[in-house]
């Protein structure tokens, strides 16, 4: 039976790639690499660098494929994503069927495949379409949450307290409910739209890359600087990926 590895590659620094990931990349007959569609050029360059640097096996072929375009008109967001995943699952079946019988394929996933990423979901869908003629396993990677915590030299949780991981849109809807709230996928600077000036924010963009920027402080004091810094960086690079932790309270303040 064919086998697919879904491999987490970390968030921008090729040194995030684990020894396990390198082993699986070199065990693969084909590594499937998205070329266009949702990929920003900076991210595609990191993936290419990882392949150039770590693939040493002569049998491993890099196979580039185009991501189908997501249709958004005349449908809800959920319908649009569902249909897009269905199209991607078809694409995956085509790629996987090009593997030799008992061959091994691999998808390289930004960060870790379990966190705000759909490759696992789409591979499951491809298995249903293909009557499960292949199996798969997952290789964990360093997430943007870990990269953020490391760059700020902080733990993510307060002692014995929960952490909420959410999106910019949900932060605006629900506010920062937990003592520690991680916000990802925020194109609208949701931190500037909540009423909590005394919360601390730990923000990072392009984490792990040479362009990394970090800022931290009381939200009421640093929000404007982050908005300005983010806009300048986004204009300079043409894209941005950023993440932040909002924290309220202090360790042991409920003793």
Ligand X SMILES: C[S@@+](CC[C@H](N)C(=O)[O-])C[C@H]1O[C@@H](n2cnc3c(N)ncnc32)[C@H](O)[C@@H]1O
Coil, strand or helix at 55: coil
> Among all residues, whose Cβ is closest to ligand X?
111
Q: How far is the CB of 140 from ligand X (least distance, A)?
A: 9
Q: Is 206 in the site for ligand X (CB under 6 A)?
A: yes
- Count residues near ligand X (CB under 6 A): 20
Please, which residue, 12 or 34, has the CB nearer to ligand X?
Answer: 12
Q: Output the six-digit token pair for 169.
A: 């849109």
**Contact window for ligand X (CB under 6 A) among 57-65, 190-198, 203-211, 220-228:** 203-211
**Contact window for ligand X (CB under 6 A) among 69-77, 81-89, 152-160, 240-248:** 240-248
Q: How far is the CB of 27 from ligand X (least distance, A)?
A: 22
Q: Is 168 in the site for ligand X (CB under 6 A)?
A: no
Coil, strand or helix at 97: helix
Q: Where are the beta strands (DSSP E) in 153-220?
A: 163-167, 180-184, 200-205, 213-218
Residues numbered 81-110 forming contacts with ligand X, rule: CB under 6 A: 110
Q: How far is the CB of 56 from ligand X (least distance, A)?
A: 26
- Following CA atoms 225, 226, 231, 236 in sequence, which dihedral angle do they give, to the nearest 10 degrees? 100
Q: Is 166 in the site for ligand X (CB under 6 A)?
A: no
Q: What's the CA gap between 120 and 180, in Å, rounded?
A: 27
Q: What's the CA gap between 169 and 183, in Å, rounded?
A: 9
Please, which residue, 143 or 189, has the CB nearer to ligand X?
Answer: 143
Q: How far is the CB of 62 from ligand X (least distance, A)?
A: 21
Please, which residue, 83 or 167, has the CB nearer to ligand X?
Answer: 167
- What are the angstrom distances between the C-alpha of 42 and each of 7, 45, 47, 193, 210? 19, 5, 9, 29, 11
Q: Is 204 in the site for ligand X (CB under 6 A)?
A: yes
Q: What's the CA gap between 201 and 207, in Å, rounded?
A: 16
148 in Cβ contact with 111 (< 8 Å) = no
Q: Is 243 in the site for ligand X (CB under 6 A)?
A: yes
Spatial neighbors of 21 by CB under 8 A, at least 6 apart, are 7, 8, 9, 54, 139, 141
Binds ligand X (CB under 6 A): choice among 45, 53, 116, 239: 116
Binds ligand X (CB under 6 A): choice among 88, 165, 184, 226: 184
Q: Give the residues lining the site for ligand X (CB under 6 A).
A: 11-12, 110-112, 115-117, 143-144, 184-185, 204-208, 241-243
């Amino acid at each position: 039976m064919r086998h697919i590895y879904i491999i987490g590659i970390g968030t921008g620094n090729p040194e995030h790639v684990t020894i396990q990931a390198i082993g699986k990349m070199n065990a693969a007959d084909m590594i499937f690499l998205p070329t266009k569609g949702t990929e920003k050029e900076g991210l595609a360059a990191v993936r290419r660098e990882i392949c150039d640097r770590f693939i040493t096996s002569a049998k491993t072929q890099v196979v580039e494929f185009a991501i189908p375009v997501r249709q958004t008109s005349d449908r809800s967001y959920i319908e649009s994503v569902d249909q897009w995943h269905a199209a991607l699952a078809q694409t995956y079946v085509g790629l996987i069927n090009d593997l030799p019988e008992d061959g091994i394929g691999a998808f390289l996933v930004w960060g870790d495949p379990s966190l705000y990423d759909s490759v696992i979901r789409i591979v499951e869908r491809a298995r249903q379409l293909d009557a499960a003629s292949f199996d798969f396993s997952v290789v964990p990677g360093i997430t943007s949450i870990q990269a953020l915590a490391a760059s700020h030299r902080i733990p993510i949780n307060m002692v014995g307290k929960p952490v909420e991981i959410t999106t910019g849109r949900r932060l605006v809807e629900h506010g920062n409910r937990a003592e520690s709230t991680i916000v990802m996928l925020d194109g609208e600077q949701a931190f500037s739209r909540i009423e909590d000036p005394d919360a601390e924010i730990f923000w990072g963009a392009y984490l792990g890359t040479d362009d990394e920027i970090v800022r931290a402080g009381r939200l009421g004091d640093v929000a404007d600087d982050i908005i300005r810094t983010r806009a300048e960086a986004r204009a300079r690079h043409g894209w941005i990926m950023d993440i932040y932790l909002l924290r309220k309270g202090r360790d042991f303040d409920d003793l």
